[in-house]
Amino acid sequence: MKKLIIVIAFTFILSGCAEQKILENISLTTLVGYELEDGGELTSTAVIRQINQDLESRVEIQSASAITSKWARTKIDLKTSKITGSGQLRVVLFGEKLAKEGLDHNLHILKMNAEVSNAIYLAVVEGDIKELLEYKYKNITDIGQHIYQLIKQNIEHHHALSSTLHEVNRDKYSLVKSYALPVIKKEGENIIITGMALFKDSKIVGQITADDTMYIMMIRERTHNGILQLELPDSALDGLADKPFDQLAIALDTIDSKLILKLVDPSVPEFDLTIKLECRLREINADIIVDTPEKIKKVEEEINQKIESELTRIIKYSQEVNSDIFNFGERFRARVRNVIVNKEKWYELYPQMKVNIKVESQIVRDGVFQ
């Protein structure tokens, strides 16, 4: 009983020390974008939600430039009637120019801000951030919430890699890892995710399309419920069709993949990567009925070859830009002994790395055929 009274007393004391912020007296920043200007100044554009005494809210966009991000935010405060708080910040966007210069400083500032959650999403903007945020979209009323939901739902459905502040800082401080951020752009009346930006030492070094995101996830970890579209060679399955066709496109969904990675030669280094894939054959754009074990096996063989080719292409590109977003470096460090592997060493080894890829797909269900 005595302990309980002490705990309650401390709770009241701590509550009294906390700074109280009444909702109607502050502005809530839900999204902020940073862009580097030609003169070296940093432009900060914030999406701010204002709430009045009747709990009605409206969204406004404020922008300011300064040499430091802190002073840019201060200049934004000078334009608003209420104190701006970062407790509801959900997304931070970086301009391409800033991302090419390096995000170390900005990531450090976000990490040191106690008001900013580690769960906020980070992304890169293709084009002008201010133009993207200030444009009056016909079907978007809250641009901050819209971009947050855009990134969130695409990560959940495996169309983009997760890019929370926690995950990016975790990879940033790793001895051998690189990280990737979603790239978004304004396209007419819409905002879309165009792909993933690949980073090396916190600087953009390359970009892959959104179509390739699922392949990256298959190499990184076990996946569930992914979707793939494959274009198979013209003659791959023409023997199964009643009439010839020019192109064969198939769609796979509810993909459940499992990877097995073995380091077979540390001196190269060389890995054997096997990906076991269970999927549903959702669509085929040709007159093919896959209704026998022989036909299913033939389709699976073509799927295996195509995915192996795509995985090889993506790994090769990441080696060309020297950005290990697949975590091969961490797996190499875990399997070698008496070898010092730091970032500089892995930058030397990664472009030479060899990966022997084998895909074993299994069609467990089929769906719609056209």
Which pLDDT value is given to residue 3?
A: 53
Helices 104-112 and 69-77: crossing angle, nearest 10°? Answer: 60
Report residue 15's pLDDT band, with 50, 70 and 90 as the boundaries.
Answer: very low
Find the mean pLDDT for residues 72-85.
82
| Alpha carbon distance 258, 105 (integer Å) | 37
Report residue 314's pLDDT band, with 50, 70 and 90 as the boundaries.
Answer: very high
* Burial call 236-261: b when 16+ CB within 10 Å, e when fewer: bbeebeeeebeebebbbbebbbebeb
Q: Choose among 232, 267, 234, 235: nearest CA to 251.
A: 232
Which pLDDT value is given to residue 118?
A: 93
Find the mean pLDDT for residues 9-37.
68
Residue type, 49: R
Report residue 265's pLDDT band, with 50, 70 and 90 as the boundaries.
Answer: very high
Q: What is the mean pLDDT of the chain?
A: 86
Higher-confidence position of 356 and 279: 356
Give tens-digit pLDDT for 271-287: 999 999 998 888 887 76
368 contacts: CB under 8 Å, gap ≥ 6: 282, 283
For the cut 70, the answer to whether the pLDDT of residue 367 exceeds it is no
For the cut 90, the answer to whether the pLDDT of residue 337 exceeds it is no
Give tens-digit pLDDT for 124-181: 999 999 999 999 999 998 999 999 999 999 999 888 999 999 999 998 888 788 999 9
Higher-confidence position of 39 and 240: 39
Q: Choose among 322, 341, 321: nearest CA to 330.
A: 341
Report residue 223's pLDDT band, with 50, 70 and 90 as the boundaries.
Answer: confident
Q: Which two tokens stand for residue 236?
A: 């791959």
Q: Could you tell me if 133 and 45 are in contact, meaning their C-beta atoms sit under 8 angstroms apart?
A: yes
Residue type, 112: M
Find the mean pLDDT for residues 187-196.
95
Higher-confidence position of 15 and 235: 235
Query: In a 10 Å sphere around its CB, with 0-12 CB exposed, 13-18 middle and 19+ buried, how is residue 269 labelled?
Result: buried
Give the largest Cα separation in the chain, rounded: 85
For the cut 80, the answer to whether the pLDDT of residue 317 exceeds it is yes
Indicate the pTM of the whole model.
0.85
Q: Choose among 123, 121, 131, 122: nearest CA to 186.
A: 131
Higher-confidence position of 73 and 187: 187
Q: Which two tokens stand for residue 109?
A: 């500032």
Report residue 193's pLDDT band, with 50, 70 and 90 as the boundaries.
Answer: very high
Report residue 10's pLDDT band, with 50, 70 and 90 as the boundaries.
Answer: very low
Residue type, 304: N
For the cut 50, the answer to whether the pLDDT of residue 246 exceeds it is yes
The DSSP symbol for 62 reads E
Cα-trace Rg, the chain: 25
* Burial call 129-160: b when 16+ CB within 10 Å, e when fewer: bbebbeeeeeebebbbbbbbebbeebbeebbb
Which pLDDT value is given to residue 55?
A: 67
Q: What share of the chain is helix, strand, coil (3-state, %, to 5)?
A: 35, 35, 30
Which pLDDT value is given to residue 311?
A: 96
Which pLDDT value is given to residue 227?
A: 86
| Alpha carbon distance 95, 123 (integer Å) | 9
| Alpha carbon distance 169, 368 (integer Å) | 43
Higher-confidence position of 368 and 93: 93
